Each structure stands twice: as structure tokens, then as C-alpha cells.
Amino acid sequence: MASFQGTKINPSRFDKSQLKFYAVLIPVAIFMGLPIVYIFMTAFKPLDELFAFPPRFFVQKPTTQNFQQLFANSATSSTPVSRYLFNSIMVSLVVVVATVVVGSLAAYVLSKKNFKGKYALMEINNVALMFVSTAVAIPSFFVITKIGILNTPLAHILPLLALPVGLFLIKQFVDQIPDSLIEAARIDGASEFRIYWRVVLPMIAPALATVAVLAFQASWNNVQTSNLYINSDSLKTFAFYMSTLTAASSGNTVAGQGMAAAASLIMFLPNLIVFIFMQSRVMDTMANSGLK
């Protein structure tokens, strides 16, 4: 009995009892990290290694030639690559901030307020989880045309503000906030906005971080808007420019593959960096989103 009481389930320091977990987790972590390593390796492969058979996982003679060709190709285009990059950064920042604000406000109202049609609105949001952006491309085009934002920066922003999974996740967290806590704040004289800002937001920070990651990925990787709703090259995004590299390399698809490999790494890095900084919050969301 004494030996049982002295044993901790999760020791604060390294213990030999943890070796069995490391024996399983380390190989799994290595396996999960292989795609990331492959993206980096491919970006620095010369053309002969890109088309080598059988394919090689690791690069043998790393080179920056793919990146040099990528920026040399952009220098000859009518719109500089810096313009595409600026558009993507600005659109992504606006979408992230607006999605977090709209989603948290809507979640607070749907969770803590009583009004007619409340449950119907939430069910509509849940149904929207089943649809991908391609399935609603035609209705979205009609809506964007009708409200007059076709070929404007708002065409990049407004359609992405409706993030059904974001509203669902945030509402799950708001549901966990005790109603008595909100009532106590009201008794103390706090306004609805003050309750939202000082009470609700700090308690749902993990969900907000997760939604910010999802919104950033949806915006940064979005090619559909530039393809369907934007005609001016000066308003298109970096993702669209990267998607055209293979076809834009003067008909030489072989050379285009090297630029596409470099472009894939450039597109992937911001997503990786954002997730690294937000991973603890994301893990908290995954662990608590189903709790009541």
C-alpha cells in the first residue's frame, strides 16, 4: 500500500515509468512530422532530384535555385509579387480579427440570450458545417454581385466571416460559463458590452485562438475568391499567384515544378508558425470543447 501511494500517475520529473510512453509517442511524432520535413526537402531539390526515379525523400544536393527562379519570374510579371503578398497579409489580418469578433459576439448572444428563432439560427449554422466552399460557389457569386462587392477587397473578406465551425466552437465554451457569474456582473452594474469584454472573452481565450488559426488558414490559402470574384490582378492574393506558377513558366512545366515546390514552402510556413504559437490554446480547445 505504501509503495502504491508513493507512485504518481504523472510524475513532475522524468521517471523510468514514462519510458513506455516515449517508446510509442516518439515514433508516432516522427511519422507525423515526415510530411513537414518532405515539404522543406522538396523546396531545396534541384530539378534532377525532383524528377528522380525512384523518388528520394531527402535532398542530396540542396540548392536555392527554385527560389531564385520564383522571384525572377515574378520580376517579369505585370504585378509584382510584393503586391500579392501585401494583399494576402492585409486580407488575412482583417479576416482573423473580424471573424473572432463576429463569432464571439454571435456565440455570446446565442448562448446567453433568449429570443425567438435562437435555436433555428444555431441549427442553420450546424447544417452549414456540412457544406464546403465549392458547393456554395454559385450562390456566393450571386450574393457578392448583388451587394456590389465584386472585384473589390471586400470580396475577399465578407464571405470568410461566416465560419460555422468557429461559431460552434466558441459557443461550446460560452455555454460552460455559469449564468450566475454573468448575473453577478449585471448586479454589480456592468453593461452587456463590459460583461462580454471583461468576463466572457478572457474565459474563452482558447476557443478564440483556435478560431483565429482556422480563419487565418482559410484566408491565407484561399484561391477561390481571386479566381471567381476578382478580375484585377492588383487585388488578387499570394495564394492565387502561387497557384499559377507552373502554367506561367513560359510553357516549361519542368522548370515550373521547381518554382511550385518553393512556393509550397512559402505558403506553408505562415501556417506552421501560427500553429506553433497557438498550439497550447488549440489543444485546450480540443480537450474542452465537448464539456458542459
Reported as a single tens digit per residue, the pLDDT across 232-241 is 888 999 888 8
Q: What is the pLDDT of residue 91?
A: 94
Same domain, 24 and 127: no
pLDDT range class, residue 93, cuts 50, 70, 90: very high
Positive or negative torsion for Cα 207, 210, 216, 221: negative
Question: pLDDT: is 245 or 192 the higher one?
Answer: 192
Is 75 a member of any domain? Answer: no
Dihedral over alpha carbons 181, 186, 188, 189 (to 10 degrees): 150
Same domain, 59 and 112: no
Domain of 194: which CATH number? 1.10.3720.10
Domain that holds residue 28: 13-65
Amino acid at 79: T
Question: pLDDT: is 89 or 278 the higher one?
Answer: 89
Is 271 a member of any domain? Answer: yes
Check whether 186 has a pLDDT greater than 80.
yes
Q: Which residues are CB-contacts of 235 (< 8 A; sequence separation ≥ 6)?
A: 87, 151, 152, 153, 156, 226
Q: Which residues are CB-contacts of 213 (< 8 A; sequence separation ≥ 6)?
A: 274, 275, 278, 282
Query: What is the Cα 4 distance to its own chain's centre?
Result: 45
Same domain, 112 and 234: yes
Are the beta carbons of 237 and 226 closer than 8 angstroms?
A: yes
Same domain, 48 and 180: no
Are the beta carbons of 46 and 61 closer than 8 angstroms?
A: yes
Same domain, 57 and 162: no
Is 139 a member of any domain? Answer: yes
Query: What is the Cα 292 distance to its own chain's centre?
Result: 26
* Domain count across the chain: 2
Positive or negative torsion for Cα 283, 286, 289, 292: negative
Cα–Cα separations (whole angstroms), residue 81 to 49, 76, 153, 234 = 27, 10, 17, 10
Q: Peptide bond preceding 54: is omega within 30 degrees of 0, i.e. cis?
A: yes
CA distance linking residue 48 with residue 110, whole number of Å: 57
Is 173 a member of any domain? Answer: yes
Maximum Cα interatomic distance, the chain, rounded to a whole number of Å: 78
Amino acid at 229: Y
As a whole number, the mean pLDDT across the chain is 83
Same domain, 254 and 141: yes
Is 3 a member of any domain? Answer: no
pLDDT range class, residue 5, cuts 50, 70, 90: very low
Burial 246-278 (b: 16+ CB within 10 A, else e): beebeeeeebbbbbbbbbbbebbebeeebeeeb
Same domain, 36 and 90: no
131 CB-side CA count, 13 A: 16
Question: How does pLDDT run across 245-278, given as a tens digit for each residue?
Answer: 655 544 556 667 778 888 888 888 888 888 888 7
Are the beta carbons of 5 and 224 closer than 8 angstroms?
A: no
Are the beta carbons of 167 and 125 closer than 8 angstroms?
A: yes
Q: What is the pLDDT of residue 1?
A: 42
Question: How does pLDDT run across 95-119, given as a tens digit for each residue?
Answer: 999 999 999 999 999 999 988 988 9
Is 94 a member of any domain? Answer: yes
Whole-model pTM: value is 0.79
Q: What is the pLDDT of residue 3?
A: 43
Same domain, 139 and 217: yes
Q: Residue 89 burial by CB count (10 A; 0-12/13-18/19+): exposed, middle or buried?
A: middle
Same domain, 175 and 150: yes
Same domain, 61 and 89: no
Check whether 287 has a pLDDT greater than 70.
no
Q: What is the pLDDT of residue 74?
A: 67
Same domain, 86 and 47: no
